Amino acid sequence: MTPVDPGPDGLANLRGLTQRRFSRRDLMQAAALLAGAGVVAGCSVPGARASAIPADYWKDKKASRSLDWAQWPLYIDVGKVKGKTVHPSLVEFTKRTDIQVKYEEVIQDMDSFVGTIRPVLASHQATGYDLMVLTNGIYLTQMRELNYLIPLDHSRMPNFFKYADKTAKDPTFDRGNKYTVPWQSGITGIAYNPKYVKRPITSFDDLFDPAFKGKVGMFADNQDLPNFGLVGIGVDPAKSTEDDWRRAADRLIKQRDEGFVRAYYQQDYISPLSKGDLWITMAWSGDIFQANASTPGLDLKFVVPEQGAVVWTDNLCIPRYSRNPVSAMELINFAYDPKIAAMIAEYVNYFTPVPTARKYILDDAKAATKKADRESLLQIADSPLVFPTKAMESKLYRYATLTPEEVPVWNQIFEPVYES
Amino acid sequence: MTSATSDEVKVGSTRRRMGRLTAYWLALPGGLWLAIFFVIPMIYLLSLSLMTGNFIDGFTQTFHVSTYWHTISLYHDQFIRSIIYALIVTALTITLAYPMAYWIAMRGGKHKSTYLLIILLPFFVSFVIRTLQWQFILADNGFVLGTLKDLHLVGSDFHLLATPVAVICGLTYNYLPFMVLPLYVSIERLDPRLMEAANDLYASKLQALLRIVFPLTIPGIFAGVIMTFVPVASDFVNAQLLGGAKTTMIGNVIYTLYLTNNDYAAASALSFTLMGALLIGIFIYARALGTKDVMEAAAL
């Protein structure tokens, strides 16, 4: 096929004997390589940490008429007015303060939400939100470290100091509530579908029962999975050591390698649990309640295992470059009005940070005209998942608080569990 | 006379020079595009992979090559798995796509474009949505497995979702058109008289296929393989949505490292290793196929 052709190669050889050794092309290539190498060596990625927020930040801040709020889905009361879906508590807020709230359910998980706003904040731009709800943990600590959160103006939140539960005040992840106050808290425990699981679930070890082989769900994250694993092996995450982390990870890896775990889930475990793809799974308390409430005939169960469970807190905080920080403070104060806290608790069924809200829920129950409504309100008022009992509290553990140096170690121990 | 001739010469050479420059001008937008969005990020990525530091305080250049060995030793399982999945998926797509493309090109008649449109139709739906549909199709008690279980054709705890089978099925489904189209193009170009000639020279149908059709469509196969193998090896959507324990692919790892852990150096190092492995694989493959010039074959 190939004709014999002395062609360009031969000619080039000939020329090579008579001409200079380096052609212009060679020089250009060498220059490009050098430039490339220079760029490789010269590059660096600046840290994302912003300058500190001035101490007199609040001094010249004026009230405004609007508020943009980034929130998780199904995390506030919902009502119908003239066929339109509204949030009664926010309607009340606008009535009291004349502030219009743009309520946006944009947070699906911390990874993607923080991933979206962080580059914006890094370039000194407003995120478009004045208030957001972030879960305590690696991300919240990171946002604070980066100086991306505005310290709260404590003089504008009297309701918090008056009505907040002692667990809401001075949490380990934000000493003195400098940057955050809790919105709601919840538990990471075990949920199961009684259609398939025919015995009561009581223990962390039930996630290792051969009867459920291949039907167990676990979380795919560096937060709930590790901390729940630690509680499961009898260690308080807050006091855990690297040794404990490795032991917990080994247990979880064993669970995976012996074929118990079907998959590691992010937010999407409710659907397989309802369909029977999963029988038993790690779960968030409020998710299960809301799934049952929104799907007729569904009866999923949530349990806090005897070893205990992990409690987390979603926190209200103000992102840097917020345009309406004063409105955000107004809402923070408003949310701690027990009557408002009751309105929200009746709907979302997570731990409320305002214990006196119970009184208003009982009042509402008394006033309820329908028997079913009354019963459900009474059930909420007595639910240990909304107003934790002493017995419940003793079984709940906080996330481990990690130093920036510990985070990579922790990640490298636990990530191989779910990224297998 | 003389002056006129020299003018002509000048005009001619200017035109020739213009012609040469036009080619550069035409290549400029694409070239700039590649430089800005490919070459520069690539150099940056390489640079990043050699840095140390953290996301909050920043990364500095330390030529820390051991990040490469470290990430490989941590994630070699996922790495090898991705390559194996990609090989299986490529083989499956060739097997499925070749007869399909052949039939459309040779027997499609006037409806050729309709058939091609049918193959492309799923592309009108978002990639993620298409993959999500497979969750419903393959669900343990969904209409496929549910029916099979009711008929007692499979055991009651048989499942596909969250297994490698589901991930490979999803990948094959999603990348099939990328194999069909280049194959179709190269088969369609075949001169039917070649087959007639083979027949005249007493070649059986199979011989004609193996010795005439197949070698002549190698550029199509090559293009198809590049367009499936490379993206499949770095895909992360299918493993995320259809996979379970032990189906994580290297794309998922890079995604987590980059976006969740903000370990830019490790993520870049893994990306670079993956790219290097894929490039080497493709060059070996090109040599094995006897393609003289990889670039020429890739350009079809």
Which of A43, A277, A419 has the CB atom closest to B140's CB atom?
A277
Given a cut of 60, is residue B28 above it in pLDDT? yes
The pLDDT > 70 percentage for chain B reads 90
Q: Which of residues 11-50 of B touch A (CB under 8 A)?
A: 43-44, 46-48, 50
Going edge to edge, which strands form the sheet with B51-54?
A45-46, B58-61, B51-54
B67: CB partners within 8 A, 6+ apart: B49, B50, B52, B265, B266, B269
CA distance A402 to B127: 38
Is A222 in the B-facing interface, judged by CB distances under 8 Å? yes
Between A408 and A105, whose confidence is greater? Answer: A105
**Residues A56-84: pLDDT tens digits?**
999 999 999 999 999 998 899 988 888 88
Which residue from B minimizes the CA distance to A260? Answer: B245
Given a cut of 90, is residue A250 above it in pLDDT? yes
**Residues A158-208: pLDDT tens digits?**
999 999 999 899 998 899 999 999 999 999 999 999 999 999 999 999 999
What are the phi and psi torsion angles at A135 (to 5°)? -75, 140
3 state DSSP class of B193: helix
Q: How many CB atoms lie within 10 A of CB A190?
A: 26
Contact B56 A111 (CB under 8 A): no
Contact B141 A277 (CB under 8 A): yes
Size of interface A-B (CB pairs under 8 A): 104
**Residues B35-69: pLDDT tens digits?**
899 988 999 999 999 999 888 888 888 999 999 99
Domain-located, residue B30: no
Domain-located, residue B27: no
Strands A261-265 and A216-219, bridge-based pairing: parallel
Please tell me the distance in Å from A118's CA to the nearest CA on chain B.
11
Is B293 in the A-facing interface, judged by CB distances under 8 Å? no
What is the per-residue pLDDT for A2? 45
Contacts A40 to B, Cβ<8 Å? 43, 46-47, 50, 61
Given a cut of 90, is residue B153 above it in pLDDT? no
What is the per-residue pLDDT for A20? 58
Nearest Cα to B225, choosing from B166, B131, B288? Answer: B288
Contact B61 A42 (CB under 8 A): yes
If you average pLDDT over residues B174-201, what whole number do you get?
92
If you average pLDDT over residues A123-148, what whole number do you get?
93
What is the per-residue pLDDT for A252? 96
Nearest Cα to B260, choosing from A115, A106, A50? Answer: A115
Given a cut of 70, is residue A21 above it in pLDDT? no
CA distance A226 to A411: 9
pLDDT band of B192, cuts 50, 70, 90:
confident
Q: With beta carbons less than 8 A apart as the criterion, state whether A241 and A189 touch.
A: no
- Tell me what the pLDDT averaged over chain A comes to: 89
Which token pair is A271? 């659907």
Side-chain-side CA neighbours of A394 within 13 Å: the count stands at: 4
**Residue B241 belongs to a domain with what CATH number?**
1.10.3720.10
- Structural domain harbouring B147: 75-298
Q: Is the dihedral of CA A115, A120, A123, A124 positive or negative?
A: negative
Helix axes A242-257, A406-418, angle to 10 degrees: 10
What is the per-residue pLDDT for B1? 43
pLDDT band of B2, cuts 50, 70, 90:
very low
CA distance A261 to A201: 17
Is B217 in the A-facing interface, judged by CB distances under 8 Å? no
B interface mutation test: which of A34, A40, A413 has the most B CBs within 10 A?
A40
Which of A39, A261, A272 has the CB atom closest to B43's CB atom?
A39
Given a cut of 60, is residue B140 above it in pLDDT? yes
Strands A66-70 and A100-104, bridge-based pairing: parallel
How many domains does the structure of chain B reveal? 1
Domain-located, residue B41: no
Which residue from B minimizes the CA distance to A254? Answer: B245
What are the phi and psi torsion angles at A263 (to 5°)? -160, 165
If you average pLDDT over residues A407-413, what whole number do you get?
89
Residue type for position A270:
I
CA distance B5 to B2: 5
Q: With beta carbons less than 8 A apart as the criterion, state whether B180 and B118 touch.
A: no
CA distance A221 to B147: 34
What is the per-residue pLDDT for B8? 53
Contacts B253 to A, Cβ<8 Å? 419
Contact B244 A262 (CB under 8 A): yes
**Residues B64-119: pLDDT tens digits?**
999 999 999 989 999 999 999 999 999 999 999 999 999 999 888 899 999 999 99
Distances from the Cα of A162 to the Cα of A225, A316, A317, A341, B52, angstroms: 35, 17, 19, 13, 47
Domain-located, residue B62: no
What is the per-residue pLDDT for B288? 82
**What are the domain boundaries of chain A?**
66-185+313-379, 186-311+397-418
Contact B256 A275 (CB under 8 A): no
pTM of structure: 0.80
Contact A115 B44 (CB under 8 A): no
pLDDT band of A15, cuts 50, 70, 90:
low
Taken as a whole, chain B contains a residue count of: 300
Contact B58 A44 (CB under 8 A): yes
Is B296 in the A-facing interface, judged by CB distances under 8 Å? no
pLDDT band of B180, cuts 50, 70, 90:
very high
Domain-located, residue B157: yes
What is the per-residue pLDDT for B300? 46
Which residue from A minimizes the CA distance to B55? Answer: A47
**Residues A266-288: pLDDT tens digits?**
878 998 999 888 999 999 988 88
Is B252 in the A-facing interface, judged by CB distances under 8 Å? yes
Nearest Cα to B262, choosing from B60, B51, B55? Answer: B55
Contacts A275 to B, Cβ<8 Å? 139-142
CATH fold of A186-311+397-418 reads: D-Maltodextrin-Binding Protein; domain 2 (3.40.190)
Q: With beta carbons less than 8 A apart as the criterion, state whether B184 and B104 touch.
A: yes
What is the per-residue pLDDT for B202? 92
What is the per-residue pLDDT for B139? 85
CA distance A196 to B156: 12
Nearest Cα to B138, choosing from B148, B128, B129? Answer: B148
**Residues A207-222: pLDDT tens digits?**
999 999 999 999 988 8
> Per DSSP, which regions of A193-291 are E strands?
216-219, 261-265, 280-284
Contacts A214 to B, Cβ<8 Å? 157, 159
Given a cut of 90, is residue B295 above it in pLDDT? no
pLDDT band of A128, cuts 50, 70, 90:
very high
Which of A43, A48, A420 has the CB atom closest to B245's CB atom?
A420
Given a cut of 70, is residue A105 above it in pLDDT? yes
Residue type for position A390:
K
What is the per-residue pLDDT for A42? 75
**Residues A353-362: pLDDT tens digits?**
999 999 999 9
DSSP A272-330: HHHHTS-SEEEEEHHHHHHHHHHSTT---EEE--TT-EEEEEEEEE-BTT-S-HHHHHH
CA distance A83 to A218: 39
Is A105 in the B-facing interface, judged by CB distances under 8 Å? no
Contact A47 B43 (CB under 8 A): no
Contact A275 B140 (CB under 8 A): yes
Is A119 in the B-facing interface, judged by CB distances under 8 Å? no
Is A51 in the B-facing interface, judged by CB distances under 8 Å? no
Domain-located, residue B8: no
Domain-located, residue B90: yes
Is A47 in the B-facing interface, judged by CB distances under 8 Å? yes
A interface mutation test: which of B63, B156, B242, B260 has the most A CBs within 10 A?
B260
Q: Which of residues 141-200 of A touch B (CB under 8 A)?
A: 142, 145-146
pLDDT band of A49, cuts 50, 70, 90:
confident
Domain-located, residue B60: no
Is B259 in the A-facing interface, judged by CB distances under 8 Å? yes
Contacts B263 to A, Cβ<8 Å? 408, 411
**Residues B204-258: pLDDT tens digits?**
989 988 888 888 898 899 899 999 999 999 999 999 999 988 899 999 999 988 8
Please tell me the distance in Å from B58's CA to the nearest CA on chain A.
3
Q: Does domain A66-185+313-379 bear CATH number 3.40.190.10?
A: yes
ipTM: 0.73
